[in-house]
Amino acid sequence: MSFTSTTTETIRTSNTLSSNQKNAPIDQQIANIIRTEHSLNIGSSIHFHDGADKEGVLMLPESSRKRLEDGGIDLSAGYPEIPDVLEIPIFVDEAHAIRAEDVPYIERGKNADPEKKALLGAAKEVIHLTKNVGTEIVGLQLADLTDQQKDELALLVAERVVVFFRDQKLPPTKQHELGSYLGNVEVHPQTPHVTGLPGATVIWNDFKLKKGMVLNYANANLSNWDPIRNKSIGNQTWHTDLVHEHQPAGYTHLHLDAIPKSGGDTLWASGYGAYDKLSDEFKRFLDGKKAVYISAHAYLDRNDPLGGPKKIERIHPLVRTHPATGWKFLAVNR
């Protein structure tokens, strides 16, 4: 989900701990301090309250408001919905435990028609934007796709890396349904989401700016917020979403409601193309090797909270084979 707009004051809370908080275990006391003390610059200021934002709903661009209301999203309580600060992980072991188990997954593109006749045959036009990356489908509505067309879309995304659809009438609920068909929708523990719809993450720079964020060239992508350093990871780094998870993401679905006149450019690259360009000798060298993949967000070590920020780390293969295409790709992050 991607929204853009203009907004409100920073919400502050008392930095005084209650007697119960003072008598809590040391790690809990540290967490309480982090959650209440703004001067530590740990955590985003938008997280010092929870629930739907009363003032945010007043800032919504007209195009965003219309899409939300037409899609049945109740804005009376506010918008967007802020995660409860008590549920945001502070320690790296808490964050590591999120989605840490095997989850059954059906690769929808694996058994799709290789020619994608149901999907491409229904389109007014199919435009391949470059040799290896990017296809635009003209004349189809994602909300109206049949299951067969969704399977073929999954295969097309697997082959072309990114697929574009313009002029979509796609409410957040339908976007969420499509994501649920393709896999298990990620619920981001730190990021605001569409009111009443966890998993439909909101990227809205003006909202965060009004909540006290400082925007510069290095942190223009405010969706990549580091809760420990109180700064964005920025938009200067290549990345693949959620590679630090036990089961990395298969898809990312970005819907643009309000688009700025300039900026916001996003680039995509092909892991297939990167692998294919390697020499045969280098391919043999990389095949079978593994790498440590780290999270964008940083946390604290419960046993060494003064030891500095800690990232989630997981080990995955450097070269993988996509289950739908059977093609090898280079899985290098940042």
**pLDDT-based confidence at 53, cuts 50/70/90?**
confident
**pLDDT-based confidence at 156, cuts 50/70/90?**
very high
Of residues 238, 250, 253, the one with CA closest to residue 296: 238
**What is the distance between the alpha carbons of residues 154 and 149, in angstroms, rounded to a whole number?**
9
Pairing of strands 319-321, 225-226: unpaired
Element (H, E) at 152: helix 147-160
Asked if the model's pLDDT at residue 75 lies above 50, the reply is yes
**What is the distance between the alpha carbons of residues 140 and 318, in angstroms, rounded to a whole number?**
36
Element (H, E) at 311: strand 310-317
CB half-sphere exposure, 111, CA atoms < 13 A? 5
CB half-sphere exposure, 177, CA atoms < 13 A? 13
Instruction: Note the pLDDT of residue 16.
Output: 42
Please state which of the ranges 2-16, 92-106, 221-235, 290-304 shows the lowest mean pLDDT: 2-16
Are 125 and 111 a contacting pair, CB within 8 Å? no
Of residues 218, 179, 224, 232, the one with CA closest to residue 41: 232
**What is the distance between the alpha carbons of residues 245 and 247, in angstroms, rounded to a whole number?**
5
Are 298 and 309 a contacting pair, CB within 8 Å? yes
**What is the distance between the alpha carbons of residues 330 and 272, in angstroms, rounded to a whole number?**
6
Domains of the chain by residue range: 19-105+184-330, 112-168
Q: Which two tokens stand for residue 87?
A: 């549920």
Q: Is the pTM of this model over 0.85?
A: no
For 290-315, how does the pLDDT look when each residue is reduced to its tens digit (9 = 90+)?
999 998 888 899 888 888 889 999 99
Q: Which DSSP state fits 146? A: -
What are phi and psi for residue 73, nearest 5 degrees? -80, 125
Asked if the model's pLDDT at residue 40 lies above 50, the reply is no
- In this prediction, residues 101-110 reach a mean pLDDT of 93
Say how far residue 300 (Cα) sits from the centre of its chain.
22
Of residues 13, 79, 18, the one with CA closest to residue 48: 13
For 262-291, how does the pLDDT look when each residue is reduced to its tens digit (9 = 90+)?
777 788 999 999 999 999 999 999 999 999
